[in-house]
Amino acid sequence: MKAIAINGSPRKNWNTATLLKKSLEGAASIGAKTELIHLYDLDFKGCCSCFACKKLESELNGYCTMKDDLTEVLKIVLSSDILIIGSPIYLGNITGEMKSFMERLIFANLSYDSAERTNFTGVIHSGFIYTMGLPHEMIESFGYKYIFENNKNYLQLLNGISEYIISSDCYQFDDYSKYAASNFNADHKAVIRKEQFPIDCHSAFELGKKLALCVSA
**What tens digit of pLDDT does each residue of 68-106 get?**
999 999 999 999 999 999 999 999 899 999 999 999 999
pLDDT of 184 reads: 84
pLDDT of 176 reads: 85
pLDDT at 192 over 90: no
pLDDT of 143 reads: 86
143-148: long-range contacts, CB 8 A cutoff, minimum separation 24: 144/89, 144/92, 147/93, 147/94
Average pLDDT in the 3-10 region?
97
Domain range for residue 152? 2-216
**Model-level pTM?**
0.93
Q: Among 74, 48, 73, 43, which Cα is nearest to 60's? A: 74
Stronger pLDDT, 152 or 217, i.e. the higher one: 152
First-to-final CA distance of the chain: 12
Least confident range of 3-7, 23-27, 117-121, 184-188: 184-188
Q: What tens digit of pLDDT does each residue of 14-63 get? A: 999 999 999 999 999 999 999 999 999 999 999 999 999 989 888 888 89
CA distance 186 to 190: 6
Q: What is the CATH number of the domain that holds 42?
A: 3.40.50.360
Average pLDDT in the 168-187 region?
85
Query: How many separate domains does the chain show?
Result: 1
Report the chain's mean pLDDT, rounded to a whole number. 93
pLDDT of 115 reads: 76
Q: What tens digit of pLDDT does each residue of 96-148 get? A: 999 999 999 999 999 888 778 999 999 999 999 999 988 888 888 888 999 99
Sign of the CA dihedral running 195, 129, 82, 39: negative
CA distance 120 to 141: 35
Q: Among 162, 60, 154, which Cα is nearest to 98's? A: 154
Where b means 16+ CB within 10 Å and e means fewer, 146-157 reads: ebbeebbebbbb
pLDDT at 167 over 80: yes
